[in-house]
Amino acid sequence: MKFFTGNLLLILAVLAMSCSSISVKHDYDKEANFAVLKTFDWIAQPGNAFGNVDAARARNDLLDSRIKNAVNSQLAAKGYRQDSANPDFLIAYHTGLKDKVNVSSYGYGYYPRGRYYGGWGGTGNYVDVHQYEEGTLILDFIGAQDKQLIWRGAATKALESKPTPEKIEKNINKVISKILYKFPPNGK
């Protein structure tokens, strides 16, 4: 159950990404022939038990739909088409969330009325602590015949705390666009 709760939190976090920088990484099977890939489908996600609040939070069909719609749209723009009957590759996504702390230390400061003190012979060090959540979204593309991973794209980003549904959708589209920018690899 912890896995599903964590999954929901990560999905929420990824969807809530603000305009801060997005770190994107890619990896792929150098032996895979990406030129033959034309169709795709999604791997079914496991269902959750009913009657449990954590399970209900974990299974957010709105977020799931936003991620899949963004991927479908980006792949269609690249010439791929969804085909449940005969896909060339399958897609799975994974999400994660991590609490982060950024600590900055300064050898100077300001009095309450804005007067500077510190520097040469100043008093003390001042520490600024910023806590935030970092979300990760991973897209895995798997060969439909051999069920082997052929491509992986991942994005990581600091998340905003209370995004609107419109902002969530906008940020999901931005993240997916950045992840899929280098798919297929080397223009294959």
Q: How many CB atoms lie within 10 A of CB 159?
A: 22
Strands (E), 17-148: 17-28, 39-42, 81-82, 89-106, 108-110, 116-118, 126-143
Domain-embedded: residue 120:
no
In a domain, 177, yes or no: yes
Query: What is the rounded average pLDDT for all residues in the chain?
Result: 78
Residue 28 belongs to what domain range?
Answer: 2-99+134-187
Domain total of the chain: 1
Does the residue 123 lie in any domain?
Answer: no
In a domain, residue 42? The reply is yes
Residue 19: pLDDT over 70: no
Q: Is the pLDDT of residue 17 over 60?
A: no
**Predicted pLDDT at 21:** 87
Q: Which contiguous run of DSSP H or E holds residue 69?
A: helix 61-77
Look at 115 and 13; give whichever has higher pLDDT.
Answer: 115
Tell me what percent of the residues of the chain surpass a pLDDT of 90. 44
pLDDT in tens, 85-108: 999 999 999 887 777 677 777 665
Phi/psi region, residue 11 (left: phi>0; alpha: psi -120 to 50; beta: rest), is alpha
CATH number of the domain that residue 72 is part of: 3.30.160.670
Domain assignment present for 164: yes
Cα 22 from Cα 20, distance rounded (Å): 7
**Does residue 118 form part of some domain?**
no
124 inside domain: no
